[in-house]
Amino acid sequence: MKSGQSGQSGQWVAVVPVKGNPGAKSRLGDRPDRPRLADAFALDTVAAVLAAPRVGRVLVVTADDALAARLAALGAEIVLEAAVPEAAVPATEPAAGEGSGESARPPADPMNAAIRQGLTAARTRFPRANLLVLTGDLPALTPADVEQALALAAGHERSMVPDAAGTGTTTLLALAGVPVEPRFGPGSRAAHEAAGHVPLEIPPAAGIRSDVDTAADLLVAERLGLGAHTRPLVAADPASIWR
Protein backbone atom coordinates (compact mmCIF):
# COMPACT_ATOMS: atom_id res chain seq x y z
CA MET A 1 0.00 0.00 0.00
CA LYS A 2 1.27 3.48 -0.83
CA SER A 3 2.31 5.72 2.03
CA GLY A 4 -0.66 6.85 4.09
CA GLN A 5 -3.04 4.31 2.53
CA SER A 6 -4.27 1.29 4.50
CA GLY A 7 -7.13 -0.06 2.41
CA GLN A 8 -9.62 2.36 3.96
CA SER A 9 -12.90 3.22 2.27
CA GLY A 10 -12.38 5.69 -0.56
CA GLN A 11 -9.15 4.13 -1.76
CA TRP A 12 -8.91 1.79 -4.74
CA VAL A 13 -7.33 -1.61 -5.24
CA ALA A 14 -6.71 -2.64 -8.84
CA VAL A 15 -6.81 -6.14 -10.30
CA VAL A 16 -5.04 -6.77 -13.61
CA PRO A 17 -5.18 -10.21 -15.30
CA VAL A 18 -2.10 -10.95 -17.41
CA LYS A 19 -1.89 -13.98 -19.68
CA GLY A 20 1.86 -13.63 -20.19
CA ASN A 21 2.77 -16.62 -22.32
CA PRO A 22 3.85 -17.21 -25.95
CA GLY A 23 0.19 -17.59 -26.96
CA ALA A 24 -0.72 -14.07 -25.84
CA LYS A 25 -1.99 -11.55 -28.39
CA SER A 26 -2.24 -14.02 -31.26
CA ARG A 27 -4.28 -11.49 -33.27
CA LEU A 28 -1.19 -9.32 -33.66
CA GLY A 29 -0.12 -11.80 -36.32
CA ASP A 30 3.19 -13.54 -36.85
CA ARG A 31 5.49 -10.69 -35.88
CA PRO A 32 8.43 -12.22 -33.99
CA ASP A 33 8.21 -9.75 -31.10
CA ARG A 34 4.57 -10.56 -30.31
CA PRO A 35 5.26 -12.23 -26.94
CA ARG A 36 7.53 -9.35 -25.92
CA LEU A 37 4.90 -6.85 -27.01
CA ALA A 38 2.25 -8.59 -24.92
CA ASP A 39 4.57 -8.41 -21.90
CA ALA A 40 5.28 -4.74 -22.61
CA PHE A 41 1.55 -3.95 -22.78
CA ALA A 42 1.11 -5.46 -19.32
CA LEU A 43 4.11 -3.63 -17.89
CA ASP A 44 2.91 -0.29 -19.23
CA THR A 45 -0.64 -0.90 -17.99
CA VAL A 46 0.51 -1.78 -14.49
CA ALA A 47 3.04 1.07 -14.35
CA ALA A 48 0.32 3.60 -15.18
CA VAL A 49 -2.07 2.21 -12.58
CA LEU A 50 0.64 2.16 -9.91
CA ALA A 51 1.34 5.83 -10.61
CA ALA A 52 -2.30 6.87 -10.08
CA PRO A 53 -2.52 8.57 -6.65
CA ARG A 54 -5.91 7.09 -5.72
CA VAL A 55 -4.78 3.50 -6.29
CA GLY A 56 -3.33 1.96 -3.18
CA ARG A 57 -2.49 -1.53 -4.42
CA VAL A 58 -2.23 -3.31 -7.75
CA LEU A 59 -2.81 -7.06 -7.75
CA VAL A 60 -1.69 -8.85 -10.91
CA VAL A 61 -3.06 -12.32 -11.58
CA THR A 62 -0.69 -14.34 -13.77
CA ALA A 63 0.84 -17.77 -14.16
CA ASP A 64 3.97 -16.44 -15.90
CA ASP A 65 6.78 -16.46 -13.35
CA ALA A 66 9.23 -14.42 -15.43
CA LEU A 67 6.73 -11.67 -16.18
CA ALA A 68 5.49 -11.79 -12.59
CA ALA A 69 9.00 -10.94 -11.39
CA ARG A 70 9.15 -7.91 -13.70
CA LEU A 71 5.71 -6.71 -12.59
CA ALA A 72 6.62 -7.18 -8.94
CA ALA A 73 9.74 -5.08 -9.51
CA LEU A 74 7.44 -2.24 -10.60
CA GLY A 75 5.54 -2.50 -7.31
CA ALA A 76 2.67 -4.84 -8.18
CA GLU A 77 1.62 -7.68 -5.90
CA ILE A 78 1.36 -11.04 -7.63
CA VAL A 79 -1.53 -13.46 -7.29
CA LEU A 80 -0.46 -16.74 -8.84
CA GLU A 81 -3.15 -17.79 -11.27
CA ALA A 82 -4.85 -21.09 -10.51
CA ALA A 83 -5.66 -23.38 -13.42
CA VAL A 84 -9.42 -23.37 -14.00
CA PRO A 85 -11.03 -25.70 -16.56
CA GLU A 86 -13.17 -23.99 -19.19
CA ALA A 87 -16.32 -25.74 -17.92
CA ALA A 88 -15.56 -25.38 -14.22
CA VAL A 89 -18.55 -23.11 -13.61
CA PRO A 90 -21.95 -23.93 -15.14
CA ALA A 91 -23.63 -21.14 -17.06
CA THR A 92 -26.58 -21.17 -14.66
CA GLU A 93 -24.59 -20.94 -11.43
CA PRO A 94 -25.17 -17.59 -9.71
CA ALA A 95 -22.11 -15.66 -8.63
CA ALA A 96 -21.49 -15.72 -4.91
CA GLY A 97 -22.85 -12.62 -3.24
CA GLU A 98 -24.54 -11.19 -6.32
CA GLY A 99 -27.46 -8.86 -5.81
CA SER A 100 -30.93 -10.04 -6.74
CA GLY A 101 -30.96 -7.80 -9.80
CA GLU A 102 -27.93 -9.41 -11.43
CA SER A 103 -28.04 -12.22 -13.96
CA ALA A 104 -26.50 -15.65 -13.59
CA ARG A 105 -22.76 -16.07 -13.88
CA PRO A 106 -21.61 -16.73 -17.44
CA PRO A 107 -19.62 -19.85 -18.36
CA ALA A 108 -16.10 -19.96 -16.95
CA ASP A 109 -13.17 -18.88 -19.11
CA PRO A 110 -9.52 -18.30 -18.22
CA MET A 111 -9.62 -14.49 -18.18
CA ASN A 112 -12.77 -14.11 -16.09
CA ALA A 113 -11.63 -16.90 -13.80
CA ALA A 114 -8.33 -15.08 -13.23
CA ILE A 115 -10.19 -11.84 -12.53
CA ARG A 116 -12.44 -13.58 -10.01
CA GLN A 117 -9.37 -14.93 -8.27
CA GLY A 118 -7.88 -11.45 -8.09
CA LEU A 119 -11.14 -9.93 -6.86
CA THR A 120 -11.41 -12.56 -4.15
CA ALA A 121 -7.87 -11.80 -2.99
CA ALA A 122 -8.58 -8.07 -3.02
CA ARG A 123 -11.88 -8.38 -1.12
CA THR A 124 -10.27 -10.66 1.46
CA ARG A 125 -7.26 -8.45 2.10
CA PHE A 126 -8.85 -5.03 1.61
CA PRO A 127 -12.57 -5.37 2.38
CA ARG A 128 -13.11 -1.60 2.69
CA ALA A 129 -11.43 -0.64 -0.57
CA ASN A 130 -13.10 0.15 -3.87
CA LEU A 131 -12.13 -2.18 -6.71
CA LEU A 132 -11.21 -1.72 -10.33
CA VAL A 133 -10.30 -4.31 -12.92
CA LEU A 134 -8.28 -3.35 -15.97
CA THR A 135 -7.30 -5.51 -18.91
CA GLY A 136 -3.53 -5.87 -19.21
CA ASP A 137 -3.32 -4.61 -22.79
CA LEU A 138 -3.51 -0.82 -22.44
CA PRO A 139 -0.04 0.39 -23.54
CA ALA A 140 -1.24 4.01 -23.98
CA LEU A 141 -2.79 4.17 -20.49
CA THR A 142 -1.74 7.12 -18.32
CA PRO A 143 -2.16 7.80 -14.60
CA ALA A 144 -4.42 10.73 -15.58
CA ASP A 145 -6.69 8.30 -17.45
CA VAL A 146 -6.99 6.18 -14.34
CA GLU A 147 -7.64 9.17 -12.09
CA GLN A 148 -10.37 10.46 -14.42
CA ALA A 149 -12.11 7.08 -14.38
CA LEU A 150 -11.91 6.83 -10.59
CA ALA A 151 -13.31 10.33 -10.13
CA LEU A 152 -16.27 9.54 -12.37
CA ALA A 153 -16.76 6.10 -10.80
CA ALA A 154 -17.11 7.57 -7.32
CA GLY A 155 -20.70 8.49 -8.18
CA HIS A 156 -21.81 4.96 -9.09
CA GLU A 157 -21.92 1.69 -7.18
CA ARG A 158 -20.88 -0.13 -10.34
CA SER A 159 -19.37 1.40 -13.45
CA MET A 160 -17.26 0.52 -16.47
CA VAL A 161 -15.11 1.95 -19.25
CA PRO A 162 -16.00 0.68 -22.73
CA ASP A 163 -13.32 -0.03 -25.31
CA ALA A 164 -12.83 2.38 -28.20
CA ALA A 165 -15.18 0.37 -30.42
CA GLY A 166 -17.92 0.72 -27.81
CA THR A 167 -18.84 -2.97 -27.59
CA GLY A 168 -16.20 -4.31 -25.21
CA THR A 169 -14.86 -3.37 -21.78
CA THR A 170 -11.41 -2.29 -20.67
CA THR A 171 -12.15 -1.35 -17.07
CA LEU A 172 -14.68 -2.50 -14.50
CA LEU A 173 -15.24 -0.62 -11.25
CA ALA A 174 -17.20 -1.20 -8.03
CA LEU A 175 -17.38 0.67 -4.76
CA ALA A 176 -16.42 -0.99 -1.50
CA GLY A 177 -18.65 -3.91 -0.58
CA VAL A 178 -20.55 -3.92 -3.88
CA PRO A 179 -20.63 -7.37 -5.54
CA VAL A 180 -19.06 -7.49 -8.98
CA GLU A 181 -19.02 -10.28 -11.56
CA PRO A 182 -16.63 -9.96 -14.53
CA ARG A 183 -18.11 -10.69 -17.94
CA PHE A 184 -15.18 -9.88 -20.20
CA GLY A 185 -15.29 -11.26 -23.72
CA PRO A 186 -17.32 -10.58 -26.88
CA GLY A 187 -20.17 -8.18 -26.18
CA SER A 188 -18.92 -7.49 -22.66
CA ARG A 189 -20.18 -3.91 -22.57
CA ALA A 190 -23.79 -5.05 -22.93
CA ALA A 191 -23.23 -7.84 -20.40
CA HIS A 192 -21.70 -5.47 -17.86
CA GLU A 193 -24.39 -2.86 -18.38
CA ALA A 194 -27.04 -5.54 -17.82
CA ALA A 195 -25.31 -6.31 -14.51
CA GLY A 196 -25.66 -2.69 -13.42
CA HIS A 197 -22.34 -1.12 -14.50
CA VAL A 198 -22.79 2.45 -15.72
CA PRO A 199 -20.60 3.38 -18.72
CA LEU A 200 -18.36 6.29 -17.78
CA GLU A 201 -18.24 9.27 -20.12
CA ILE A 202 -14.65 9.09 -21.29
CA PRO A 203 -13.76 10.02 -24.89
CA PRO A 204 -12.99 7.09 -27.22
CA ALA A 205 -9.56 8.59 -27.96
CA ALA A 206 -8.25 7.93 -24.45
CA GLY A 207 -5.59 5.46 -23.42
CA ILE A 208 -7.91 3.71 -20.99
CA ARG A 209 -10.25 2.82 -23.85
CA SER A 210 -7.51 1.73 -26.26
CA ASP A 211 -6.86 -1.94 -25.64
CA VAL A 212 -4.62 -3.58 -28.22
CA ASP A 213 -5.56 -6.84 -29.92
CA THR A 214 -4.66 -6.15 -33.54
CA ALA A 215 -2.05 -4.27 -35.57
CA ALA A 216 -4.63 -1.54 -36.22
CA ASP A 217 -5.21 -1.19 -32.46
CA LEU A 218 -1.48 -0.85 -31.94
CA LEU A 219 -1.31 1.94 -34.49
CA VAL A 220 -4.06 3.82 -32.64
CA ALA A 221 -2.25 3.36 -29.32
CA GLU A 222 0.98 4.58 -30.88
CA ARG A 223 -0.73 7.77 -32.00
CA LEU A 224 -2.03 8.32 -28.46
CA GLY A 225 1.41 7.74 -26.97
CA LEU A 226 2.86 4.39 -25.96
CA GLY A 227 4.28 3.61 -22.56
CA ALA A 228 7.99 3.24 -21.86
CA HIS A 229 8.04 -0.54 -22.25
CA THR A 230 6.11 -0.76 -25.52
CA ARG A 231 7.55 2.30 -27.29
CA PRO A 232 11.06 0.90 -27.92
CA LEU A 233 9.70 -2.33 -29.40
CA VAL A 234 7.48 -0.48 -31.88
CA ALA A 235 10.18 2.08 -32.64
CA ALA A 236 12.60 -0.73 -33.49
CA ASP A 237 10.37 -1.86 -36.35
CA PRO A 238 7.52 0.63 -36.84
CA ALA A 239 6.58 -0.73 -40.28
CA SER A 240 5.77 -4.11 -38.74
CA ILE A 241 2.48 -2.85 -37.27
CA TRP A 242 1.10 -2.80 -40.81
CA ARG A 243 1.92 -6.46 -41.49
Burial classification of residue 213, based on how many CB atoms lie within 10 Å of its CB (0-12 exposed, 13-18 middle, 19 or more buried) = middle
188 is annotated as contributing to ligand binding: yes
Strands 158-162 and 169-174: antiparallel
Question: What is the β-pairing status of strands 12-17 and 130-134?
Answer: parallel
Query: Residue 14: beta bridge partners?
Result: 58, 132
Quote the CA–CA distance of 30 and 168 in Å, as a whole number.
24
Tell me how far CA of residue 115 lies from CA of 14, 18, 22, 81, 90, in angstroms: 11, 9, 20, 9, 17
One-letter amino acid identity for 191? A
The torsion defined by the Cα of 156, 157, 161 and 165, in degrees rounded to 10, comes to: -90
Instruction: Confirm whether residue 169 is marked as ligand binding.
Output: yes
CA atoms within 13 A on the CB side of 88: 13
Work out the end-to-end distance of the chain between its first and last CA atoms, rounded to an integer number of angstroms. 42
CB count within 10 Å of CB 230 equals: 25
φ, ψ at 170 (rounded to 5°): -105, -25
Is 92 part of any known ligand binding site?
no
Residues placed in the known binding site for phosphoenolpyruvate = 169, 185, 188
Residues placed in the known binding site = 169, 185, 188
